């Protein structure tokens, strides 16, 4: 009897392995790390994980780059394990994302990643989604004073580093004197307003910037056309402007193009946050000496691995817990529920623009 059982058992294992229902591998601890000896575990192909990514606005190359990270991680983990929807509003008003959140709720998504256009306008819809067991992750920012309404926030960098990073780059280029302005995105944008506040804290708190004067903050709504118009109007209103700080990947190339068009390359120092692929021409022609960013695709990758760890590896995203994001390594849930993709922004200039312009 034993002989037959062994034969049967072996045939059964081979059959199950070939059908993908059995997996040879190490047992994964809740943190998603592998440990223990090889052992068979039955992996029943569960339903696909349904993930929504709702950007501030569609047609924004910055969020296209971030979305590419979701695809990379899903490819690494097996595309047939996921259903992915990259969908959102054409314009980034505070409440413009609500219909897309409702769609994800109706569709019984497992997780929604959203770059929120408002810190508070989405709270009721977040509550509704979470009551149905849908994970709400803010991505590329947080929702200040409303963190209890989300499950975690995937940050591109520690936002506390951005104020100093931006104003020090502009100050150096302006020799710490003269008038400058800020061209931001939408007036309600939580990330933009956090950065503007941090820039002002440095500007008014550090005597090295006492020779610089912030004359205006204008808003391009993360729309190329409006950013272009606002930049043109600003230069007309402020003929002795010496600097322009543009913390938006939509506004920065738009404003750089206007500075170049007006023959003011090098005369008005421009820096901010932008995509290397869209800023390369302005670095190469001297219109922009340097700008900063981080790595948007990494954020999308981390997002997929976070959902995978929670839904397939029993990971519980409590402060202090760590999970694997594949090739990117392990990430920790910080006490404030944030996950830092990188510590601080990277500076892009002539020395590295060609290397990064082909990446995003
Ligand atoms: C724009 C958006 C986004 C910001 C980037 C740098 O695409 O405002 O939120 O992270 O710029």
The protein residue with its alpha carbon nearest to ligand 1, atom 3, reads 248
- Calculate how far, in angstroms, residue 351's C-alpha sits from the geometric centre of ligand 1: 24
Query: Of all helices (H) and strands (E), which one includes residue 73?
Result: helix 61-77
| Ligand 1 binding pocket, CB closer than 6 Å | 56, 60, 62, 115, 140, 185, 189, 191-192, 222, 248-250, 273
Write the pLDDT tens digit of every residue in 99-131.
999 999 999 999 999 999 999 999 999 999 999
Mutate to test the pocket of ligand 1, among 55, 56, 300 (most ligand atoms within 8 A of CB): 56
The per-residue DSSP string of 173-191 comes to HTTT-EEEEEEES-TT-HH
* Structure-block tokens of residue 98: 């609500």
**Coil, strand or helix at 283:** helix
Query: Of all helices (H) and strands (E), which one includes residue 63?
Result: helix 61-77
- Calculate how far, in angstroms, residue 14's C-alpha sits from the geometric centre of ligand 1: 50
Mean pLDDT of the chain: 90
- Asked if 6-156+295-343 and 159-293 have one fold, the answer is yes
Q: Which residues are 218's β-sheet partners?
A: 183
- CATH 3.40.50.2300 is held by the domain 6-156+295-343: yes
- Calculate how far, in angstroms, residue 140's C-alpha sits from the geometric centre of ligand 1: 8
User: What Cα–Cα distance (Å) separates residue 62 from each residue in 67, 115, 254, 275, 293?
Assistant: 9, 11, 14, 7, 11
Write the pLDDT tens digit of every residue in 259-283.
999 999 999 999 999 999 999 999 9
Residues near 112 by Cβ (< 8 Å), separated by ≥ 6?
A: 51, 52, 53, 54, 101, 104, 129, 134, 135, 136, 137
Task: Write down the pLDDT at residue 19.
Answer: 42
- Calculate how far, in angstroms, residue 33's C-alpha sits from the geometric centre of ligand 1: 32
d(CA 266, CA 240): 14
Please give the span between the terminal C-alpha atoms of the chain, in angstroms, as a whole number. 63
The protein residue with its alpha carbon nearest to ligand 1, atom 4, reads 248
User: Per-domain residue ranges for the chain?
Assistant: 6-156+295-343, 159-293
Residue 164: is its pLDDT beyond 70?
A: yes
* Structure-block tokens of residue 327: 């090739």
The CATH T-level fold of domain 159-293 is: Rossmann fold (3.40.50)
User: What Cα–Cα distance (Å) separates residue 211 from each residue in 46, 195, 204, 358?
Assistant: 62, 21, 10, 38
Q: What is the pTM (predicted TM-score) of this model?
A: 0.87
Q: Which residues are 4's β-sheet partners?
A: none
Task: Write down the pLDDT at residue 105.
Answer: 98
Please report the atom of ligand 1 found closest to the CA of residue 191.
9
Please report the atom of ligand 1 found closest to the CA of residue 248.
11
Residue 91: is its pLDDT beyond 50?
A: yes
Write the pLDDT tens digit of every residue in 191-210.
999 999 999 999 999 999 99
- Calculate how far, in angstroms, residue 261's C-alpha sits from the geometric centre of ligand 1: 24
């Amino acid at each position: 009897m034993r002989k037959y059982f062994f034969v049967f058992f072996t045939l059964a294992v081979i059959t199950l392995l070939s059908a993908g229902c059995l997996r040879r591998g190490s047992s994964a601890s809740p943190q998603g790390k592998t440990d223990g000896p090889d052992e068979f575990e039955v992996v029943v192909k569960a339903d696909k994980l349904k993930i929504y990514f709702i950007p501030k606005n569609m047609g924004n190359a910055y969020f296209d780059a971030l979305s590419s990270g979701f695809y990379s991680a899903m490819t690494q983990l097996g595309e047939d394990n996921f259903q992915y929807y990259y969908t959102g509003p054409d314009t980034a008003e505070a409440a413009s994302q609500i219909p897309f959140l409702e769609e994800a709720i109706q569709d019984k998504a497992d997780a929604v990643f959203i770059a929120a256009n408002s810190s508070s306008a989405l709270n009721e819809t977040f509550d509704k989604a979470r009551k149905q067991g849908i994970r709400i992750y803010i991505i590329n920012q947080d929702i200040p004073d409303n963190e209890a309404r989300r499950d975690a926030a995937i940050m591109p960098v520690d936002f506390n580093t951005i104020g100093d990073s931006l104003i020090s780059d502009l100050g150096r280029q302006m020799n710490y004197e003269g008038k400058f302005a800020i061209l931001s995105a939408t007036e309600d944008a939580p990330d933009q307003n956090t950065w503007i506040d941090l820039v002002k804290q440095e500007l008014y708190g550090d005597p090295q910037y006492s020779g610089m004067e912030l004359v205006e903050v204008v808003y391009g709504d993360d729309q190329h056309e409006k950013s272009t118009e606002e930049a043109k109007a600003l230069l007309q209103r402020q003929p002795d402007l010496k600097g322009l700080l543009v913390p938006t990947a939509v506004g920065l190339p738009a404003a750089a193009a206007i500075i170049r068009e007006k023959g003011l390359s090098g005369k008005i120092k421009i820096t901010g946050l932008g995509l290397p692929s869209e800023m390369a021409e302005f670095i190469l022609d001297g219109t922009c000496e340097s700008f900063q960013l981080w790595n948007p695709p990494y954020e999308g990758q981390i997002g997929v691995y976070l959902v995978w760890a929670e839904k397939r590896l029993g990971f519980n995203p409590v402060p202090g817990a760590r999970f694997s994001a594949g090739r990117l390594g392990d990430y920790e849930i910080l006490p404030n529920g944030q996950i830092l993709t990188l510590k601080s922004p990277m500076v892009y200039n002539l020395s590295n623009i060609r290397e990064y312009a082909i990446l995003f």
